A and B are shown apart, each in its own frame.
Chain A
């Protein structure tokens, strides 16, 4: 079984700042890492491989620095890494990214399953997995917490919902995004790290992928009108005193603010 895990290199969110004057997002250069949710997708792919055999390919679209994310995945045990990289891809939105990833998956040998993390912590959109499934015309199940059954041509999974879970069965090939409840990701081993440093990474440019650059990168359908930092939270107020008094004060305040 050939499993592809789509990963994204993201900045350490707590170190990202937005210049409130220019609206420009400032990302420190040394702050890149694999999107934490993608680590669960990598782990699940490795576990499936260990149980059923097969190969795991990690796939990303991003600038040259994104190769580091691929190497991190190789250190964990992925077999192959594929990097979609072209200046024409810079600035791609979710829809354009999905077009590129789907084209990349199309270049790979007999893919049975495409895994994603539930969302990227930088954009928080959770939209790429669905777009990719659409581009490939494959079935999708998002927010999966468990693979119940898996065979060459179908899979039964549990999808998290707000109040429980659904059991879904899909034919393969298919697209699945996973939640962090699915497993506990492993850490890289010394051997894995050494192997990853020297492993080849296949790169595909726009020409190699055969994609129309008129719809990706700066030509993505999304237009960013304005960026601004999230509003700072107002300082909280701590009511002190005996519980009865505090409850009364709280009630008065909530009433005054017309919350109750």
Chain B
């Protein structure tokens, strides 16, 4: 048993923390207020190696372990959750399925640009009528002589508005369940590809969340990802890995809000002394610290199991569920520690509270995580 990070992992933490401190944190409030994602920062995250941290070096990535990835995700989220979400997207939701199920040509064509931050890859599963019921897709594909025709609408697509290539899940026939689903690599310039509404959200505002519309969208044969009918399997295995990084984001938001609360409690004076001297505040801080510690340990354990080549689906769901729920709780408590100031934008924690809330929703709601967990427990 060893709870120490390796030297390499500590180095990843240092690099990610410095970038977050210098480039993300000072502008996070501005990005949130303007609901603006900074594409220059995306390129910089690519240059520094975050966007392809777990992608092998031959495809432009860093070839690092999942624990390092979680460390980076936590640190970047402490700076700005909206920009950190792009790292989860490129590594987990786009990079992983392409790497695992893509042909050599597909990997060589799409991964290096995304790892470098020059191109954006996205993941499109959710539909207006298919959220938690991910197999109930309405987007359909039809086989043609030299490819496929796609029809349907996807919603809540992270970075959809700026994506160059999107992994899209569609069914051969509505109602045909998991076996009817296939995955496609759809280029933004494919005929019949259209960007729909950019959603206005409660949090994670700087990350553009978009509707994508496919109207007789033409997909060449070579852009089928994996085999026909394997789409649901691709989606589910992708979400397993993505869940851990959602957990890391939850930890990052909680940790940052906690740090702000600790600092504030030492500076703010009421009743003639710093509020940190009051038990009411100390109790909050103690509870927050335990939740963060537990969540981080769950995240690290799930990532560690992945690195060992072990089945980590159960731990990933546990980490995602717990870390996302405590993220909301800890950021909520941070506002309480700051009192009225916590409700003011300038003090940052209200943004973190809004950002944290989505971690309980995306890549499988808390309720779905519980189903996944129970399925493993009762197996």
Residues A189 and B47 in contact, CB atoms below 8 Å apart: yes
Beta-carbon nearest neighbor of B47 in chain A: A189
Q: Once bound together, how far apart are the Cα atoms of A191 and B63, in whole Å? A: 10
| Range for the number of chain B residues in contact with chain A | 10 to 19
Residues A189 and B11 in contact, CB atoms below 8 Å apart: no
Q: Once bound together, how far apart are the Cα atoms of A187 and B48, in whole Å? A: 8
Q: Once bound together, how far apart are the Cα atoms of A253 and B372, in whole Å? A: 75
Query: B199 at interface (Cβ–Cβ under 8 A)?
Result: no
A191 and B18 in contact (CB under 8 A), knowing A197-B7, A197-B11?
no
Residues A187 and B22 in contact, CB atoms below 8 Å apart: yes
Q: Using Cβ atoms and an 8 Å threshold, which residues of chain A touch B47?
A: 189
Query: A193 at interface (Cβ–Cβ under 8 A)?
Result: yes
| Range for the number of chain A residues in contact with chain B | under 10
Residues A190 and B7 in contact, CB atoms below 8 Å apart: no
Interface of chain B residues 1 through 34 with chain A (CB within 8 A): 7-8, 11-12, 14-15, 18-19, 22-23
Q: Using Cβ atoms and an 8 Å threshold, which residues of chain B touch A197?
A: 7-8, 11
Query: A188 at interface (Cβ–Cβ under 8 A)?
Result: yes
Residues B23 and A187 in contact, CB atoms below 8 Å apart: yes
A192-215 contact mask (Cβ, 8 Å, vs B): 1 or 0 = 011001000000000000000000
B44-76 contact mask (Cβ, 8 Å, vs A): 1 or 0 = 100111100100000000101000000010000
Beta-carbon nearest neighbor of B53 in chain A: A190
Q: Using Cβ atoms and an 8 Å threshold, which residues of chain A touch B50?
A: 190
Beta-carbon nearest neighbor of A196 in chain B: B11
Contact residue among A75, A188, A191 (Cβ-Cβ distance under 8 Å from B62): A191
Residues B22 and A190 in contact, CB atoms below 8 Å apart: no
Residues B7 and A189 in contact, CB atoms below 8 Å apart: no
**Distance to closest chain A CB from B63 (angstroms):** 10
Interchain pairs with CB closer than 8 A, number = 36
Q: Once bound together, how far apart are the Cα atoms of A193 and B7, in whole Å? A: 11
**Distance to closest chain B CB from A71 (angstroms):** 10
Residues A188 and B15 in contact, CB atoms below 8 Å apart: yes
**Distance to closest chain B CB from A246 (angstroms):** 28
Q: Once bound together, how far apart are the Cα atoms of A206 and B14, in whole Å? A: 34
Beta-carbon nearest neighbor of B62 in chain A: A190
Q: Using Cβ atoms and an 8 Å threshold, which residues of chain A touch B64?
A: 190
Contact residue among B8, B18, B53, B72 (Cβ-Cβ distance under 8 Å from A187): B18
Beta-carbon nearest neighbor of B22 in chain A: A187
Residues B22 and A193 in contact, CB atoms below 8 Å apart: no
Q: Once bound together, how far apart are the Cα atoms of A189 and B53, in whole Å? A: 11
Pick the most buried of A190, A191, A193: most chain B CB atoms within 10 A of its CB.
A190
Q: Using Cβ atoms and an 8 Å threshold, which residues of chain B touch A191?
A: 49, 62
Q: Once bound together, how far apart are the Cα atoms of A197 and B7, in whole Å? A: 9
Q: Once bound together, how far apart are the Cα atoms of A189 and B14, in whole Å? A: 10
Beta-carbon nearest neighbor of B68 in chain A: A190
Q: Once bound together, how far apart are the Cα atoms of A197 and B49, in whole Å? A: 16
Q: Once bound together, how far apart are the Cα atoms of A37 and B295, in whole Å? A: 40
Q: Once bound together, how far apart are the Cα atoms of A193 and B62, in whole Å? A: 12
Pick the most buried of B12, B15, B47, B50: most chain A CB atoms within 10 A of its CB.
B15
Q: Once bound together, how far apart are the Cα atoms of A39 and B18, in whole Å? A: 14
Q: Once bound together, how far apart are the Cα atoms of A75 and B26, in whole Å? A: 23
Q: Once bound together, how far apart are the Cα atoms of A75 and B8, in whole Å? A: 13
Q: Once bound together, how far apart are the Cα atoms of A188 and B19, in whole Å? A: 8
Beta-carbon nearest neighbor of B50 in chain A: A190
Q: Using Cβ atoms and an 8 Å threshold, which residues of chain B touch A188?
A: 15, 18, 48
Q: Using Cβ atoms and an 8 Å threshold, which residues of chain A touch B18?
A: 187-188
Q: Using Cβ atoms and an 8 Å threshold, which residues of chain B touch A187?
A: 15, 18-19, 22-23, 44, 48
Q: Using Cβ atoms and an 8 Å threshold, which residues of chain B touch A193?
A: 11-12, 14-15
Residues B22 and A189 in contact, CB atoms below 8 Å apart: no
Residues B8 and A189 in contact, CB atoms below 8 Å apart: no
A194 and B22 in contact (CB under 8 A), knowing A187-B48, A189-B47?
no
Q: Which residues of A contact B (CB under 8 A)?
A: 75, 187-191, 193-194, 197
Beyond A187-B22, A190-B50, A190-B64, 12 additional pairs, beta carbon < 8 A: A75-B15, A187-B15, A188-B15, A188-B48, A189-B47, A189-B48, A190-B12, A190-B48, A190-B72, A193-B11, A193-B15, A194-B11
A-B pairs with beta carbons under 8 Å apart, 21 shown: A187-B15, A187-B18, A187-B23, A187-B48, A188-B15, A188-B48, A189-B15, A189-B49, A190-B12, A190-B15, A190-B49, A190-B62, A190-B72, A191-B49, A193-B11, A193-B12, A193-B14, A193-B15, A194-B8, A194-B11, A197-B11
Report, nearest first, the 6 A-B pairs whose CB atoms are least far apart: A190-B49, A189-B48, A193-B11, A189-B49, A193-B15, A190-B62
